[in-house]
Structure 1
Amino acid sequence: MSRALTIVLASLALTACSQGEAARQGDAAGTVQVSGALCRPTPVGRQTTGCYLTLTAAADDRLVSVSSSIAGRAQVHESRMESNMMMMHELKEGLPLPAGQTVELKPGGNHIMLLAVTEPLKAGDTVPLTLTFASAAPVEVAAAVGQPALTDSGHAAH
């Protein structure tokens, strides 16, 4: 009887291990990595600012919304040239995140806009952001407040 019990326990242990591994692989397939989160300081008298970061999704996904406790609203925007003017528009359908590809939100391109910011943001502060995706679990980020790095030409990196 002890041999039969040992076999049953070993089988149960192997089953539990393989289910745990499958769950971990499933979690990895549905994750989005976030790096380099940065929000600009708010100019005097302004209640809006842009935030930038880099996203890499393990599986095809979409950034569908952003929220922050320090802003009345947060939107995912794109910047594009229209009639020789740079225009910003909200990406109402969200931002596609192709599997394994790095998607950079940056000045002059796709970015996060914080609107109705409740307190002025200054360099050294942090901004809590909650990123919500179509498939992956939400990700909470503490974005640093500062200026984006400048290129050799003296402009914000694009």
Structure 2
Amino acid sequence: MKGRTMRSNILFAAVAAFPLLASAIAAPAMDHQTGHVVEAGDLKIADARVRAMLPGQPSGGGYMVIENTGAGDDRLLSLTSPRAGKVEVHSMEMNNDVMVMRPVKGGLTIPAGETVTLEPGGLHVMFMQVEKGFQEGESIPLTLQFEKAGTIDLELMAGPARGKTSGTGHSH
């Protein structure tokens, strides 16, 4: 019975993530220099956005570019949104022709002097337990809690469910 439950959980994760993977394959390269930049401490956050969700989709993806201009690492400790019961940073990769998606444990480190890109097909923000799917053109609130930079409130504009999303996120 334990094996069946594990297979069911893997199947559920794969079904929930399929729109993210499909859109990543269809999405052209992004210009991460566009869009509004939010600065907090040594961090600069740009190109923050989400994809509109397809009908019946229980989870949605969010993306952004986080640059650490400081001399020390910072760490994204948690994410929250009133639009989702749970928000996490997930990794997504292909492993032997199987898409594997896992939450990033212990926070996401933003190394000193480096840029971390959350994008379709790789690291991304996963909005789970979403009651009302994101609609194209609407703004989705997201709060990020960093170890050093503190709390950052963002509004992520929902772009198309498939294909390129523009960098239209802005802060509050």
TM over 0.5: yes
Map of 1:4-43 to 2, 5 A cutoff? 30-43=41-54
Q: Quote the offset at 1:120 in angstroms.
A: 2.0
Contact 2:90 2:102 in 1 (8 A): yes
Which one is further off, 113-122 or 68-77? Answer: 113-122
Counterpart of 1:6? none
Select the residue among 50, 67, 74 that pairs with 2:61: 50
Structure 2 Cα separation of the partners of residues 82 and 38 of structure 1: 27
Counterpart of 2:99? 86
Select the residue among 96, 108, 115 that pairs with 1:95: 108
Counterpart of 1:149? 164
Equivalent pairs counted in the alignment come to 123
Q: What letter matches 2:83 in structure 1?
A: I
Contact 1:53 1:106 in 2 (8 A): yes
Contact 1:124 1:146 in 2 (8 A): yes
Contact 1:39 1:50 in 2 (8 A): yes
Unaligned runs of 5+ in 2: 1-38, 166-172
Tell which structure's C-alpha radius of gyration is larger: 1
Contact 1:54 1:102 in 2 (8 A): yes
Q: What letter matches 1:88 in structure 2?
A: M
Contact 1:31 1:137 in 2 (8 A): no
Give the aligned CA root-mean-square deviation in angstroms. Answer: 1.9
Structure 2 Cα separation of the partners of residues 73 and 109 of structure 1: 19
Q: What letter matches 2:91 in structure 1?
A: E
Structure 2 Cα separation of the partners of residues 29 and 119 of structure 1: 30
Task: Percent identity, please.
Answer: 35
Select the residue among 49, 57, 63 that pairs with 2:76: 63
Select the residue among 124, 127, 133 that pairs with 1:114: 127
Q: Quote the offset at 1:34 in angstroms.
A: 1.1
Unaligned runs of 5+ in 1: 1-27, 151-158
Structure-2 change in CA distance of 1:43 and 1:29 (3 Å)? closer
**Superposed structure 1 runs of 4+ greater than 4 Å apart:** none
